[in-house]
Amino acid sequence: MSDTPVIDTVGLSKVYATGDTPVVALADVTLQVHRGEFVAVVGASGSGKSTFMNLIGLLDRPSHGVLRLDGVDVARLTSNQRAMVRNHKVGFVFQGFNLLRRTSAMENVELPLLYAGVGARARAQAAATALTQVGLGERMGHMPNQLSGGQQQRVAIARALVNQPALLLADEPTGNLDSTTTREILKLFVDLNVNHGITVVMVTHEQDVAAVSRRVVQFKDGHVVMDGPPPETWTPAVEVPWRAAKVQGAA
């Protein structure tokens, strides 16, 4: 069971039927992501990388192809079943944080547990643990507008992790952050991946962010054009164990 891929796609496609000519956003993508991987998805805008993320995050439905999440075929589930998979197997981190306004950090983190039917006491406990894990143990009662951008993104990460999902999906998680905060968030992702074994798939268009990952998948015009470890020439934004020597060399 341990070698069951977290993400397994065969000929995954998404075609939008807008206007006269259908637009192919994703064409025939066959890809596997295994447990414990840290994948950066890169590509120009319109390359299909966001569509790919929305498909594997079950926010959107594929037009063709097979999509298995953690061994479960999710391409043809009802919307209720999709909601349950989103709830149990996937944690989302967005560029714009997407926290509920005027709702405390604690309650934002509790949200997935609320829909999982977890009782109030267990919810509070799990949310506190998740917030402590992302370094926000002191600010659980704060509202999003009382937190900095980096702190808001940490709340979002805690929310993504609270249900102990198989997969952490991050869509441009550092897009709205300055370079210092970007490094903090990336360190957090590396820590989660290395020390907690969490599988991370992260969309980015920044080379130094992508270089932090263990594997880069590049999209172009709906196809995967490159799949492998980040090129030696890319300098990671933060120190990573699997490229420690390189960073030291660069410094």
Name the residue nearer to other proteins (CB basis): 120 or 226.
Answer: 120
Name the residue nearer to other proteins (CB basis): 19 or 102.
Answer: 102
23 binds other proteins (CB under 8 A): no
Stretch that binds other proteins, among 51-59, 133-141, 180-188, 207-215 (CB under 8 A): 51-59
Q: What torsion do the CA atoms of 243, 191, 211, 152 make, to the nearest 10 degrees?
A: -160
100 binds other proteins (CB under 8 A): yes
54 binds other proteins (CB under 8 A): yes
Beta bridge partners of residue 169, listed in sequence order: 92, 201
Q: How far apart (Å, rounded) are the C-alpha atoms in residues 90 and 171? A: 13
Contact characters 66-95, other proteins, x per CB under 8 A: -------------xx--xx-xxx---x-x-
Name the residue nearer to other proteins (CB basis): 89 or 214.
Answer: 89
Amino acid at 3: D
Task: Classify 52 as helix, strand or coil.
Answer: helix
Q: How far apart (Å, rounded) are the C-alpha atoms in residues 176 and 12? A: 30
Name the residue nearer to other proteins (CB basis): 61 or 187.
Answer: 61
Q: Determine the Cα angle at 78 with ends 77 and 83, to 5°.
A: 90
Stretch that binds other proteins, among 99-107, 138-146, 227-235, 238-246 (CB under 8 A): 99-107
176 binds other proteins (CB under 8 A): no
Q: How far apart (Å, rounded) are the C-alpha atoms in residues 112 and 220? A: 33
Question: Six-digit token pair at 32?
Answer: 């596997």
Nearest approach, Cβ of residue 146 and other proteins (Å): 16
Compute the radius of gyration of the chain from its Cα atoms.
18
Which regions of 17-126 does DSSP assign to beta strands (E)?
A: 23-33, 38-42, 64-69, 72-73, 90-93
Question: Binder to other proteins among 5, 10, 46, 98 (CB under 8 A)?
Answer: 98
Stretch that binds other proteins, among 66-74, 113-121, 221-229, 236-244 (CB under 8 A): 113-121
Interacting residues with other proteins between 142 and 161 (CB under 8 A): 159
Q: Residues near 225 by Cβ (< 8 Å), separated by ≥ 6?
A: 218, 219
Task: Classify 221 as helix, strand or coil.
Answer: coil
Name the residue nearer to other proteins (CB basis): 59 or 247.
Answer: 59
* Residue 39 near residue 215, CB atoms below 8 Å: yes
62 binds other proteins (CB under 8 A): no
Positions touching other proteins (CB under 8 A) are 54, 57, 59-60, 79-80, 83-84, 86-88, 92, 94, 98-102, 111-112, 114-117, 120, 159, 163
